[in-house]
Amino acid sequence: MQIIEQYSTPFYKNIIDMPPSMVRKLWKRSNILVLDIRTPQEYVEHHIPGSLLIPMDYLEVLQEYFSDKEVAVICEHGNRARYATYGMPHLYKKKAIYMIGGIVGWMSMGYEVVSGMDENGTKWEQWLDEKLK
């Protein structure tokens, strides 16, 4: 049996599809930034510790804060994250990882999540205020 740990398309060399297990390995080694593109309400309910919230509607406006980093893009089920990686490939200068199954897949594996708002959940609002001044 062959186990596929990651998938990459020939059209977008910097975008890779990975299951939560592989994303977690990279996250544990601090090799990637976990970019949560859900709404603030969803983030408060549950999120991956240390993940950075930038709601999908603000990705293009705030791309300077993450485009130079290797990121794993996540949402609740994976649909918005797929659009944010493959539909907006110009946002990522380095590697962008689409996490298959979203945070639901992450939680189904029993991986760590926390609830509540933290500093990483409010940075996007501060950055947006700075841009609007």
* Per-residue confidence band for 63, with pLDDT thresholds at 50, 70 and 90: very high
Average pLDDT on 6-20 reads 81
Surface-to-core class of residue 126, CB atoms within 10 Å of its CB (0-12 exposed, 13-18 middle, 19+ buried): exposed
Domain segments of the chain as ranges: 11-132
What is the architecture of the domain spanning 11-132?
Answer: 3-Layer(aba) Sandwich (3.40)
Average pLDDT on 36-54 reads 98
* Per-residue confidence band for 129, with pLDDT thresholds at 50, 70 and 90: very high
What is this structure's pTM?
0.91
| Choice between 71 and 7, residue whose per-residue pLDDT is larger | 71
Place of tokens 């999540």: 113
